[in-house]
Structure 1
C-alpha cells in the first residue's frame, strides 16, 4: 500500500486492492517457501516464548513468485548484494591457508565462491510493524 502511494497513485482504494492482491496471490508456497509470509507464520526466535512480530516476502530471482510492486530497484539491490557476497567469500577463500585447503580437498569441499547458487539464494524483504506494548 505504502509503495503504491509513494509511487504517485492517488486512488487509495486502488492501492488497498493492490496490497491485498499482493498478499493473497502470493501467499507462501509450501514447496519452495517463497511468497508472502503473514505474521501468523513468522518464526519464533530461539528461547523466545512469543512469535516475532513481522511479516515478509521470500524472493528468489529470477524464478520466484512476487508481485509487480516488487520493483526493479529490489532486483537491482539483490544483484548488488549478490556481487558483494561473492566478493566477501572470495576474500575468505583467499585467506585460507594451504594446509586448510588440503584438509578441505580431502573432504571434497570446494571454495566458498564455488558453493554459491544465485537461483537458490533467498532475498527476504521484512516489515516490522510499529508496536506499542
Structure 2
C-alpha cells in the first residue's frame, strides 16, 4: 500500500539478507506512476537494473541515488548512469555545511567529555 500511494519513497535501512534488493522489479511495479525513489541507504537495497528500466519506460519520474552496489568510481556503463532523470551523488549526499558543523561539534563534545572522565558513544 505504501509503494502504491507514495509520491516519493526514501530508503533509510541497513543492507541485510532481508533488505537485499528490497526494491526490485516487482516492487518498482507497485510504485505509483510518476513517483520518485530516493536511496541513501545502501546500494544493494535496490535492484539497479530494474530501477533503470522503470525510469527508461517512464513508470517512475526520477531517482536520487547516493549509494551504489560498489563505491565510486562507478563503471560508466552502470545502468543508473545511463537512465534518464537520475540525480547521482558519490556517497556524499550527507556532506552539507550544516552536517559537517554538527559532526565537528559532536567530536569536540565527545573529546571534552572524555577529558572530563566521561565517555560518550562507547563501542565495545
- Decide: shared fold, TM above 0.5: no
Higher radius of gyration, 1 or 2: 1
Q: TM-score, normalised by structure 1?
A: 0.27
Is the helix fraction higher in 1 or 2? 1
- Superposition TM-score, scaled by structure 2 size: 0.29
